[in-house]
Structure 1
């Protein structure tokens, strides 16, 4: 966001059976790999396994997560402008379904449009909510998910879109739908949604994945494609994949054994 990488919450590498989630927000400059600032506390949440998404290059929106005792459905926003700070968002009455929110953890949030403030929340077994967010007014409302196109990147990211398109056109990415996953990462790259890693539900062992899936929205109904990972050391769960310039960068998460934490930042090579 604003050319910076924001890292919020998570868990320390700990042998404790119930480690306490973190409430720190770290601002990292990807060009120098230097930490610009660290925001601790300030009335904000302390969470792991949450979903987050930037809004209007100003707010970091955090949805759900695990607070060490239970799964939450609350929305929080951190304002990077001016005095900034954390604020909890309140649901506006009359804004769609009033059914109680389910607590969420290990889900993903994907910004659909800055103009409408839409955020899609993917829960277990791929159920969807659409959230419309007004962070300045500290409010949000819900309605059933509607199909839509994401905003095209302005400047940076166009070369990455072309490389993903070439993977599909060349047959390097094969048609395949992902299995039920949790603690994966999903990010939007123009007309593509890129899903990486996660923990697979339908396997008894070796459940941490390193596959990369591409969801192509350029055709009606959309279509999934898969790139199978060849490096078993890059299996990740609870990580994040971000668009930084013309590259996809992987940060954090647990490794192939599902327990060891990884502090490194990697750039994902896409060879077409």
Structure 2
């Protein structure tokens, strides 16, 4: 991995810029498959209606983002990505330049080709954007978030379970019946046997749903989030709602960074870093304010490193930098 630039704050953990070169993107989708971090699509200017079709790969050894140019890559932004079977990248929904879509695209990282499976079960008059896709130990993917118009959301709810396989060439949506609040630009993480939905609304910052299990435990590098939390004091006031932030899950806590807040005080992305812990009682801890003020960025855990890429900041500038999460000794 390339050498990191010294962080500028006294935060116990903070983002450090690396020499890794990459594309300037916001509202792109990212996921980790094997030892590689992949990002796809997004926009080059914040309010662009013309999404990218480009796919990039960053190996755990670092270097630079490598573009993977193969026929069939869809043009999408505000979509979701999930890794499957340590081989496939599943792209779900998103803005295609004309409308929200519910289509699914698969990139086979072994054969280096794009696949467009048959998709069933989603309402014909709707599509997905600014939603999340969470892999479950059942093999299904939980989809939560914005779909179509408000009229559609009232009729159909805010969640789906996606099942199927690349081998069968077919995926099926079925409505997720447990009541969830309508959200957009949120994140989802599983800790233990519960799903935590963070942000995407101006209130109810964290929503909890029991009865979920992740197919993999959080990487050991995320244990340092728990260690850091032990050196901080919990905050007495609930943080305000936010959207288009990122989260990193650890065995017992979630690190939250950036996004656009709903407090009316800031019209630009913030650099606020928080840790949410579920035990002994649900609590928030303030890490500090990072110099990296971003929204619409992506994050992934690659090997023993937690990486952040892209997003937009002040004056709607879209960034190309890649950061690594550093810990103060």
Structure 1: unaligned runs, 5 residues or longer = 93-97
Residue number in structure 2 paired with 1:95 = none
For 1:112-261, what aligned pairs fall within 5 Å after superposition?
Answer: 113-123=136-146, 128-136=158-166, 137=168, 138-142=170-174, 143-145=176-178, 147=210, 148-153=212-217, 157-161=219-223, 163-172=224-233, 174=235, 179-203=240-264, 205-216=266-277, 223=282, 225-231=284-290, 233-257=291-315, 259-261=316-318
Distance across 2 between alignment mates of 1:152 and 1:215:
20
**Superposition deviation, residue 217 in structure 1:** 5.2
For 1:50-65, what aligned pairs fall within 5 Å after superposition?
Answer: 50-65=79-94
Instruction: Check 1:184–1:18 CA distance in 2 against 1; reply closer, same or farther (3 A cut).
Output: same
Runs of 4+ off more than 6 Å: none
Q: Does 1:104 align with 2:128?
A: yes
CA contact (8 A) 2:54 2:67 kept: no
Deviations 1:214-244 (A, max 9, x none): 444567xx8352435423x411111001112
Distance across 2 between alignment mates of 1:43 and 1:183:
28
Instruction: Check 1:135–1:184 CA distance in 2 against 1; reply closer, same or farther (3 A cut).
Output: farther
CA contact (8 A) 2:225 2:255 kept: no
Structure 2: unaligned runs, 5 residues or longer = 1-32, 148-156, 179-208
Deviations 1:185-213 (A, max 9, x none): 23444454443222223426434122234
Higher relative contact order (CA 8 A, sep 6+): 2
CA contact (8 A) 1:59 1:135 kept: no
Residue number in structure 1 paired with 2:321 = 264
Distance across 2 between alignment mates of 1:202 and 1:74:
34
- Measured on the aligned residues, the alpha-carbon RMSD in Å equals 3.2
Normalised TM-score (structure 2): 0.65
CA contact (8 A) 2:133 2:143 kept: yes
**Superposition deviation, residue 11 in structure 1:** 1.5
SS of the counterpart of 2:53? coil
Instruction: Check 1:196–1:73 CA distance in 2 against 1; reply closer, same or farther (3 A cut).
Output: farther
CA contact (8 A) 1:152 1:191 kept: no
**Superposition deviation, residue 26 in structure 1:** 1.2
